[in-house]
Structure 1
Amino acid sequence: MSAGPGDVSAGSGRVVDTSTVSSAAAAMSVALASTAFSGVIADARWVIPALLTIGLVAGTGVFGRTMRWWPPLVVLVQGLALTTALTTLFTKQALLGFLPGPAALGELSGELTRALDLVREGVPPVPAETALQALVCLGLGLVAILVDIIAVALQAPAVAGLVLLCVYAIPASLADDMLPWWSFVGGALAFALLLASGGHHQRWQRRESRDAVAGNIFGRTTSAVAGASVVIALLTGTVFTGVGTEGRLPGAGTTGFGTSSGGVGLQPFTSLRGQLDRSRTVDLFRVRGLTRETYLRAMTLRKFDPANGWKMDGLTQGVDASQPLPLPEGTDISTGTPMRVDIEPLGYRDPWLPVFGTPEVVSGMGPDWRYDPAAGIVFTQTRQQSRPYSEQLTLSSPTPQQLRSANGPVRIDPAYLDTTGIPPEVADLARRLTADQPTDFDKATALNRFFTDPSNGFSYELETAPPSSSSALSDFLFRGKRGYCEQFASSMAVLLRAAGIPSRVAVGFTSGYQDGDARMITTDDAHAWVEAYFPGWGWTTFDPTPLDDGRTSLPDYLHREPAPGQALPPPGVSTPPTPTSPGQQPQPGVVDDGERNAVPQPGRTDTGSGPWPAVLLVVLVALVIAACPAALREARRRLRLRTVAEGGPGAAGVAWRELLDEFWDRGTRPEAARTVRHSANALIDGYALDAEGSRAVRALVGAVEREWYAPSDREPDPAVAESLREAVAALHRSAPLSWQDRLLPRSVLRR
């Protein structure tokens, strides 16, 4: 029996499926191109999920083509595999832990929406948060499918290079600096690999010898193409460094602000869980003329999202910041300490221009800066250099009595009173903490004291407590009680709104440290605090973060307030017990909502153990699925060998079918029109069996012919089992199976 179409002779050595080689090259090229994201993502937590996603997409394509599925069906199954990977890695509501259902898809949609907010508002490099990992894996998974279609199904690997170029375009458009040089090398090698593995299909067969494949992939031509690609990529990346915008301005889309020297910018860091990374200290500003310590405000956030924390919302085009600035919206009183400060940006680069107090005139920062009186923010939507600027301001300092007597209409956007998404137990806590306070100012100071009073158990730490429910806000207020400024500011702003007081979160810096005649503000001074609205006086600063390093710049009206022992719920109000670990005693004065069955918030995926249990489950399921064909082949082999060993009727025919399957596993499919003896001779010659193997095959053929054509009462041949064993052993000597052929036996998959 001769080899079928698309096969090679056994004498040519081990063979490989060239489409599988091209699929592996396509997956490897996408993985190499993804190194470009290292220029905009601060850590490597995204790498393993991305590689798992790319590998699953490629593996699904290989399996579908091995089964000879209809090509559109292969693409459809790859899309389903990508969806399954995303729901397994980044959601908690997947059916059976890995199947995408309506709840899991809704949760995934929330994560992707949050990731888009991070891209729009963050300053590269950004931390690899779970939402951002989901977005990167989605993008790379789609690219892997597209490259697989173009390079493998359509056999046009050169065109697939354009898709890989798009992978570079995304991080290049977000990074202000040049991407890492080794990412360009990775991309060049990826393109060369694609060309080498897919460019010879017109003369390659479906199954080709390993030597031929290796010669095409690692030959002299491929090495020359790879070397030239690396050189061109490095030169291009070095020369064209002007490509790139920071892409994080609200409504700006493709514009940014920065310097070529690099620098540090702010992002609205007010998700209620996470870690504050202060691995290195960078000088940001040198300030002269500041006669009193106060906060340097860069931006304010007014929208509370229960799943993701506070967000910027409603920023308008404002007014020209180079002209005299109007009072903030809802502010009538402009009394206070006038100042003129000179601010020199050092390592700071951002579209937000930080200002002190109530700005009246800002100058020197360049053109195209805007001021939004409602948000109190100075910002730009054009790329320009960081320049020293001056600010003329009024630093308001009302007394406690003046704030207690503040009254009148609340002339600000009603969004600052929005309580949507605040859990009922948090709203109840706000009512209990402020029940005995006569004025809004007293309510605000009571809430501030709730966080700063040591007896209530809150502590400033750079790591939050592990989550114990679906609500990060409830976890912090009632159980964890440790975190950094974003947790404290976010939580107090929510409590203020629940108490009926307009609030927002401010992001910026404390006033730094004295350095000669100037003050130095560094990354260690990055901070978030709370601003509450009082009619007439406008937005007034509160800071609930219990810092003990002297970096706070509290206003006088908080310093003058007496500090009572505690600000707890009034007597007689029952307080559910706080969950404690074994051996731990409940802390006195700790309030707990007791909600153990809170409804999970959409879009939230952060868990204490991260995505790794789900990753292990995906790997386990993939291994089980991958092992199924080999397990079925082994079960069939054992059943046949037992039948042959028993020597019952039909044993010779069963042995012959097992021998044919051994040849089929090696790529040689028997032809039904040939006789048993003719087929056996073709197999002996095609695989160059040795003398012992040839004798065993011919002996088996004789037993088959006697069984099929002799009288039915003839005794079974007891030597059939030994002939089969010797024939298979000889075949293993002349043409051993590769691991791919063992894992995906053709005799099982192509029936």
Structure 2
Amino acid sequence: MLAVLAALPVLAPILRGDGWWTAAAVTVAAVALTGVVVRVLRVSEAVLPLLQAAAGVIALTALFAPGQAVAGLIPTPESAAALLSLAAEGRAEIDASPAPVAAGPVVALVVALGMGLLALLADFLAVTARMPALVGLPLAGMALLVLSVDDQGIAWWAFALAAAGYLGLLGVDSWIRAGARGIRPLGSTGSAARAFGALRRAATAGAVAAAAIALALLVPVAVPGLGDGALFRMAQSGMIGNDAVTTTHPLVSLRTQLADDSGTAVLSYGSDDSDPDYLRTYVLDVFDGENWTMSSLRAGRNTRVGADDRLPLPPGTPRLTGDPVRTEVSVAGDARDVDFLPMPYPALSVDVGGEWFADPATQMVFRTGGGERSLDYRVDSVRPRPSAAELAASGGTPGVDPQYLRVPEDVDPRVAELARSVVGGARTPHERAVALQDWFTGAGGFTYDLRPPPLPEGADPLAHFLLEGRVGYCEQFAGAMALMARQIGVPARVATGYTAGTQVADDRWEVRRSDAHAWPELYFEGQGWLRFEPTPSSGDGQGTASVPSYAEPAPEPGGAADDPGPRPDTAEERPERPDPAGPEAEDPAAPAPGSATEGTGGSADAAALGRILQAAAVALLVLLAPALTATAVRHLRQSGATTDSARARAAWLGLRDEAADLGVPWSPAESPRTIARRLAVEYGLSGAAREAVWRIALAEESARYAPRPVVPRSLAADVHTVRRALRRRVGLAARVRGTLLPRSLLRRAGDVRRAARVRTG
């Protein structure tokens, strides 16, 4: 029961709220305690699972359907139907909601039911089948479930608690098995000695468990690939079914990449544009009231991309105007994980190997299966540079799908009021778009932070971000501006991909994971879809973000840009954001290009140094682990020897282990006197060392055969004396190998248990 309950916090990342804890704990306790009662009463174990399941159902009935039960406890057909209905509703809510799921009553029922089944399985494996080690499989399954649906992973303390519960279960089972074999593991028949032995063994077991848990927590930090969300990416990787394409949720992938401060390169590219634009990967066109998602894509023969084929013009875009740009991209690392191509927008054509498809509505280029480890492709595109007059003449939304103006009915009405207040008297769609953008980057008083404060319980994420918190990163800025644009009549959607990255040569740029970005795309008649940039740039925001020239505010003053909106707690307006073409010239506090503090470079260097130190610490711990383990075994053996026979045996086994570590021949067929004589002759033991080895041999002989063994008190010191003498006689290589790789640990399991067990005569 405790092992299963200790694993409950593992589920916390995928459940929001605390209403599920009690129900799950009560159900687990009902199943486990029923097993105790049934076994005490010696009822046949054949019916035990049925009785435990009945106890779990009673607990769930009392918690979730007491009105349909007898006395609020005894299940009835009506209560069973109610539980089934609630469970179906809870499962549907879990399937439809992204993590973390709000843990209302129906979700809490599903969690409690699952934990009850887990408790029943754990009880069967640990007690009935006497295979407690297998309990680790369902417990690990819980962790795998969380890691596959949530990119943030499991808190270290939750993992440590679950691991401690599992190791505790193994320790208790080992204790019970030892008692069943007639072994007296507590050192003596006296109550005080038994208590002391119990405390000593509990402390030893706790230390071993703590070391194991510490290694499990530290090794993934130091070893690349073990702590970077690989399991999540694998679980969320692209699949195809009924020719509909799904992939990792773009915003989840965005959060994962932004949190990566390692400086890992995603791709590099060459461009004939001296100031390249963003590389767009995904387009999110559906807002459900809380999250932006991507419409389903379909791969068909008519959407396949050919080397000589031009990409379809996006709907509502009569023509592509702007400067022609050629971009040649080379993906870094394993390109088999790339299922959507990062590329400039809008594109004329793309030349890429393999089978790829283009979405006609968005120009997203994707594939439905894995590919080669390397990926290079060329994109011909145009760089839109509409003039202010051209954008001012844009009006209406002919040719664009009405879905880009769709706003869910349950969106907080205060958001629409805020949007209208921000744009004020702006006359054209372009003026309203620029007013919205500048409000986010200036007068709105927003703060860029990759780790915003937790959302208050029950709060609407969008309304809280816009009206109260005003702290977030590009995902919140882009999504909020796109929604507000729709509310003021400008078609909008969210795009994700990468900023232009960092220039590494005259015509070469490198894009890192930390350059991942999200931005809104707004539609203008006659011009098509254009990107805007509401996320603050410079050192206080996305360091490589840039504002396109057409999105700069008009030179004449406008009321919208000066209106901070309903923000009573903002004392003064922020200064205007510096010119993106040269922020260093206007902001003396901005980092110089290429400096260690530019963007995330400083934190990346610090993180890299931290990882190196952590890796060194883990490597040192792993290197010394065998030596520390051997030392702990010897110390346990000696400290637990409370009788003369036990002390003699501990000294003899210590000498045997030292011989094994140093490569000194040792045969169990030889008597103690024969071994002592051979060691003294072959290794030139003399003086104190010769006397010590004979005392150890005669004590072992006396303990084996004498009715009342005669054992000197100096045996522990004698072992140390002989050990030093033997180490002086063998070579340096043997001494180093004997310390770092003690062969005594490789003895068969029975020998190890006997070496570590305290015997009493």
Q: TM-score, normalised by structure 1?
A: 0.52
Tell whether the 8 Å contact from 1:255 to 1:382 is kept in structure 2 after alignment: no
Query: How big is the shift at 1:473?
Result: 1.9
The whole-number CA distance in structure 1 between the counterparts of 2:461 and 2:143 is 35
Number of the residue aligned with 1:294: 277
Number of the residue aligned with 2:531: 541
Tell whether the 8 Å contact from 2:395 to 2:429 is kept in structure 1 after alignment: no
Structure 2 vs 1, CA of residues 486 and 107 (structure 1 numbering), >3 Å: closer, same or farther? farther
Number of the residue aligned with 1:332: 318
Q: Counterpart of 1:368 in 2: which secondary structure?
A: coil
Query: How big is the shift at 1:107?
Result: 11
Number of the residue aligned with 2:549: 556
Question: Percent same amino acid among aligned pairs?
Answer: 27
Tell whether the 8 Å contact from 2:422 to 2:561 is kept in structure 1 after alignment: yes
The whole-number CA distance in structure 1 between the counterparts of 2:61 and 2:181 is 33
Query: How big is the shift at 1:297?
Result: 0.7
Tell whether the 8 Å contact from 2:441 to 2:535 is kept in structure 1 after alignment: yes
Number of the residue aligned with 1:228: none
Query: How big is the shift at 1:396?
Result: 2.1
The whole-number CA distance in structure 2 between the counterparts of 1:402 and 1:436 is 20
The whole-number CA distance in structure 1 between the counterparts of 2:109 and 2:503 is 43
Match of 1:61 among 31, 37, 46: 31
Tell whether the 8 Å contact from 1:360 to 1:393 is kept in structure 2 after alignment: yes
| Cα displacement string for residues 49-95 of structure 1 (whole angstroms, at most 9, x for unaligned residues) | 999997655433233345659433222146569989xxxxxxxxxxx
Matching of residues 562-601 of structure 1 within 5 Å: 562=555, 564=557, 567=560, 578=567, 580=569, 586-587=571-572
Tell whether the 8 Å contact from 1:303 to 1:312 is kept in structure 2 after alignment: yes
Tell whether the 8 Å contact from 1:427 to 1:498 is kept in structure 2 after alignment: yes
Structure 2 vs 1, CA of residues 279 and 157 (structure 1 numbering), >3 Å: closer, same or farther? same
Tell whether the 8 Å contact from 2:356 to 2:365 is kept in structure 1 after alignment: yes
**Alignment RMSD, CA only?**
5.9
Stretch deviating more after TM superposition (558-567 or 532-541)? 558-567
Structure 2 vs 1, CA of residues 191 and 464 (structure 1 numbering), >3 Å: closer, same or farther? closer
Number of the residue aligned with 1:522: 512
| Cα displacement string for residues 209-246 of structure 1 (whole angstroms, at most 9, x for unaligned residues) | x99xx99xx9xxxxxxxxxxxxxxxxxxxxxx999982
Structure 2 vs 1, CA of residues 137 and 75 (structure 1 numbering), >3 Å: closer, same or farther? closer
Higher relative contact order (CA 8 A, sep 6+): 1
Q: Counterpart of 2:125 in 1: which secondary structure?
A: helix
Query: How big is the shift at 1:372?
Result: 1.0
The whole-number CA distance in structure 2 between the counterparts of 1:551 and 1:356 is 16
Matching of residues 29-108 of structure 1 within 5 Å: 57-66=27-36, 70-77=51-58, 79=60
| Cα displacement string for residues 669-726 of structure 1 (whole angstroms, at most 9, x for unaligned residues) | xxxxxxxxxxxxxxxxxxxxxxxxxxxxxxxxxxxxxxxxxxxxxxxxxxxxxxxxxx
Number of the residue aligned with 1:312: 294
Query: How big is the shift at 1:140?
Result: 6.5
Number of the residue aligned with 1:391: 379
Structure 2 vs 1, CA of residues 346 and 589 (structure 1 numbering), >3 Å: closer, same or farther? closer
The one-letter code matched in structure 2 to 1:389 is Y
Q: Counterpart of 2:358 in 1: which secondary structure?
A: strand
Query: How big is the shift at 1:347?
Result: 4.7
Structure 2 vs 1, CA of residues 532 and 280 (structure 1 numbering), >3 Å: closer, same or farther? same
Stretch deviating more after TM superposition (502-511 or 63-72)? 63-72
Structure 2 vs 1, CA of residues 438 and 426 (structure 1 numbering), >3 Å: closer, same or farther? same
The whole-number CA distance in structure 2 between the counterparts of 1:327 and 1:485 is 28
| Cα displacement string for residues 105-124 of structure 1 (whole angstroms, at most 9, x for unaligned residues) | 99977873466x46xxxxxx
Matched, 1:346 2:346: no
The whole-number CA distance in structure 1 between the counterparts of 2:446 and 2:34 is 56
The whole-number CA distance in structure 1 between the counterparts of 2:116 and 2:367 is 34
The one-letter code matched in structure 1 to 2:125 is A
Number of the residue aligned with 2:432: 443
Number of the residue aligned with 1:464: 452
Query: How big is the shift at 1:153?
Result: 8.8
Q: Counterpart of 2:560 in 1: which secondary structure?
A: coil
Match of 2:364 among 377, 393, 417: 377
Structure 2 vs 1, CA of residues 445 and 142 (structure 1 numbering), >3 Å: closer, same or farther? farther
Query: How big is the shift at 1:509?
Result: 1.1
The whole-number CA distance in structure 2 between the counterparts of 1:269 and 1:244 is 10
**Unpaired runs of 5+ in structure 1?**
1-22, 85-99, 119-127, 205-209, 219-240, 258-263, 591-751
- Count matched residues: 488
Structure 2 vs 1, CA of residues 134 and 556 (structure 1 numbering), >3 Å: closer, same or farther? farther
Structure 2 vs 1, CA of residues 388 and 54 (structure 1 numbering), >3 Å: closer, same or farther? farther
| Cα displacement string for residues 251-307 of structure 1 (whole angstroms, at most 9, x for unaligned residues) | 6379999xxxxxx99831599x9996344322211111243321111111112233x
The one-letter code matched in structure 1 to 2:119 is I
The whole-number CA distance in structure 2 between the counterparts of 1:451 and 1:137 is 40
Number of the residue aligned with 2:115: 141
| Cα displacement string for residues 640-662 of structure 1 (whole angstroms, at most 9, x for unaligned residues) | xxxxxxxxxxxxxxxxxxxxxxx
Q: Counterpart of 1:486 in 2: which secondary structure?
A: helix
Matched, 1:512 2:501: yes
Matching of residues 242-321 of structure 1 within 5 Å: 246-248=234-236, 252=240, 267-269=250-252, 277-289=259-271, 290-306=273-289, 308-317=290-299, 319-321=303-305
Q: Counterpart of 1:479 in 2: which secondary structure?
A: helix
Tell whether the 8 Å contact from 1:568 to 1:589 is kept in structure 2 after alignment: no
Structure 2 vs 1, CA of residues 63 and 136 (structure 1 numbering), >3 Å: closer, same or farther? closer
Structure 2 vs 1, CA of residues 106 and 563 (structure 1 numbering), >3 Å: closer, same or farther? farther
**Unpaired runs of 5+ in structure 2?**
39-47, 66-81, 183-190, 202-225, 576-761
The whole-number CA distance in structure 2 between the counterparts of 1:187 and 1:363 is 55
Query: How big is the shift at 1:424?
Result: 1.1
The whole-number CA distance in structure 2 between the counterparts of 1:398 and 1:492 is 21
The one-letter code matched in structure 2 to 1:141 is M
Structure 2 vs 1, CA of residues 413 and 322 (structure 1 numbering), >3 Å: closer, same or farther? same
The whole-number CA distance in structure 1 between the counterparts of 2:140 and 2:451 is 39
The whole-number CA distance in structure 1 between the counterparts of 2:241 and 2:144 is 15
Query: How big is the shift at 1:441?
Result: 1.6
Structure 2 vs 1, CA of residues 502 and 409 (structure 1 numbering), >3 Å: closer, same or farther? closer
The whole-number CA distance in structure 2 between the counterparts of 1:509 and 1:441 is 24
Structure 2 vs 1, CA of residues 60 and 509 (structure 1 numbering), >3 Å: closer, same or farther? same
Q: TM-score, normalised by structure 2?
A: 0.51
Matching of residues 71-220 of structure 1 within 5 Å: 71-77=52-58, 79=60, 112-113=94-95, 117=98, 141=115, 144-148=118-122, 150-151=124-125
Tell whether the 8 Å contact from 2:522 to 2:531 is kept in structure 1 after alignment: yes
The one-letter code matched in structure 1 to 2:304 is D
Tell whether the 8 Å contact from 1:507 to 1:527 is kept in structure 2 after alignment: yes
Structure 2 vs 1, CA of residues 401 and 369 (structure 1 numbering), >3 Å: closer, same or farther? same
Query: How big is the shift at 1:480?
Result: 2.3
| Cα displacement string for residues 362-400 of structure 1 (whole angstroms, at most 9, x for unaligned residues) | 223x42322212133222221233412221222222222
The whole-number CA distance in structure 1 between the counterparts of 2:349 and 2:2 is 61
The whole-number CA distance in structure 1 between the counterparts of 2:404 and 2:140 is 44
The whole-number CA distance in structure 2 between the counterparts of 1:569 and 1:107 is 48
The whole-number CA distance in structure 1 between the counterparts of 2:233 and 2:257 is 27
Number of the residue aligned with 1:647: none
Number of the residue aligned with 1:615: none
Number of the residue aligned with 2:725: none
Q: Counterpart of 2:365 in 1: which secondary structure?
A: strand
The whole-number CA distance in structure 2 between the counterparts of 1:404 and 1:433 is 19
The one-letter code matched in structure 2 to 1:320 is R
The one-letter code matched in structure 2 to 1:280 is S
The whole-number CA distance in structure 2 between the counterparts of 1:294 and 1:565 is 28
Number of the residue aligned with 2:405: 417
| Cα displacement string for residues 6-29 of structure 1 (whole angstroms, at most 9, x for unaligned residues) | xxxxxxxxxxxxxxxxx556778x
